[in-house]
Structure 1
Amino acid sequence: MPHSLSKPPVYRFAPSPNGLLHLGHALSAVLNARFAAETGGRLLLRMEDIDLTRCKPAFEQAILEDLAWLGVPFEEPVRRQSEHFPDYDKALERLKARGLVYPAFLTRGEIRAHVAAIEAAGGRWPRDPDGALLYPGPERRWGDGQREDAVAAAMAAGRPYAWRLDMAKACRAIGQPLTWQETGIGQQDGSGDKRDTQSVIVAAPEAWGDVILSRPDAPSSYHLSVTVDDALQGVTHVVRGQDLFQATAVHRLLQTLLELPEPVYHHHRLVLGPDGRKLSKSHRDTALRALKDRGLSAADVRALLL
């Protein structure tokens, strides 16, 4: 269900306020602002602060100051995910009603032990595109009659659990191949700072296994909250880093299951550190504030990126 083309395009920059902005964030912010200006579109700012432990108001304030210094305009008000948990819970309840999610009780340690035993015996265990172990999903093998009793017993015992998407069941439920519209380079040669001819990418959400949609320390996962937010905010164009290229498959699956509009995607190159890896908030020397303190201007930073 693509967005209507009769309205101006809507872009969004969506950082997590769990640290300072670095050059990689700056590239994404500048590209979103440039594309919005070139198309007569709107640019929204969203704080992805579902991690209530790591996300701090001080980091949010620093983001606002850095964007002002960088010259990136955006519409107000700023959307904060921490203020919209009921929106994500409503979407999760829709998936529960269709039997597409299940409570998963294995801890990370139990998952690692399960996989280690299999691999020690010569077997191989699948990983997702980010390299994380796929969830074994013993709960999916509980029979319908057994499931209710087993779940009730585990919950009564106080075992923490996450709500996971039954990926195989979800893929069967949509009954059609999944694709998305891509205007960036994506994973091809890593440039992607210009809008190229639109191409159709085949999505493979099954590669991610039974992804978490909610867990005890976070009422919503990144996958669920970003999908719901893009729809509620009317985002028509998602411009973000190449590291999220593969995750788009999960977002397209959730959009289809929840009957939400489909944005156009643009995945741009990553800004890499001296070790050849993508920047993280631990790279303090590439934080915008550090560059500013070294005497660089906002124009200098833009010249480094574009």
Structure 2
Amino acid sequence: MGCDGGTIPKRHELVKGPKKVEKVDRNAERAAKWKYCALSQEKLRRPIVSCEMGRLFNKDAIIEYLLDKTAERPNMEVVTHIRGIKDIKELNLTDNPEWAGERSNTKGDVYEDLHCGMFICPVVGLEMNGKHRFCYLQTCGCVFSDRALKEIKTDICHKCGDLFKDEDLVVLNGTKEEGEKLREKMEQKRAKAKTKKSKKSKAAETVATPSESKDDTKGPEVDGKESSLQTDGESSQSDVAGTSSSTEGSKLSKSAASKRSVQEMTEKSEVFKSLFTTHSSAKRTKAQTSNWVTHTPYHF
């Protein structure tokens, strides 16, 4: 019964029971969702964006994904619904004045509050650390706590003043049920957009087809008239030549009239004519004209 040294083993050392289910640390789970990018797993830094499912990303990580979707990434299933830059919204966040940053505890001699969030609600002041429910507006991107939206019910954004509807609210890092609702909402929105595009394309086709039919109906009439126009074309050419010569003569006369000197205009006064250099008062005699003489040292 005994082991070396006279020790007696206990039951849990001899009998192997069922393995305990490992529980996820809630604090670590909250920090992973609210302090790290859902795609690159890097720390969140401005500019921060969110999708229609309410997940937080670094904007540069999303741009890299959109530029090269073939690259292998660990969390590709998180961004499969993002088709382009229009499917994300840059968030207008409010900084937490109590957040000292990452370099505040480099020595390890300062108490570090893991529950302290980088951002807060601008209305109530709650920290965005995962303990409280937060939402953002798809119209302007401003982020508020759910408590602020419930206590102050309005259709105007508390931060920027833009109008919004209840449909524009998106929950950040919600539960599974809230994620399913957001997915259904996203699919319905995209289906409506597709129907609108198809209706616009059909309307454009219907507008184009009547104009083409009108051109086709006018075609034979024009062909019937061409024969009569050809017969009259030869007779009209001589008339056109005569009219063109007359128009050219009238243009020459108009140009000659426009080039008439101001001094020859009888309707103008002498005071007005004296303003121009062609007037007799502007002309100088040889005695009045100056004679320029250049002097250089080469003459010596």
Using structure 1 for the length normalisation, give the TM-score. 0.18
Compare the two structures and name the one with the higher strand fraction.
Answer: 1
Using structure 2 for the length normalisation, give the TM-score. 0.18
Higher-Rg structure is: 2
Larger relative contact order, structure 1 or 2 (CA cutoff 8 Å, min sep 6)? 1
Compare the two structures and name the one with the higher helix fraction.
Answer: 2
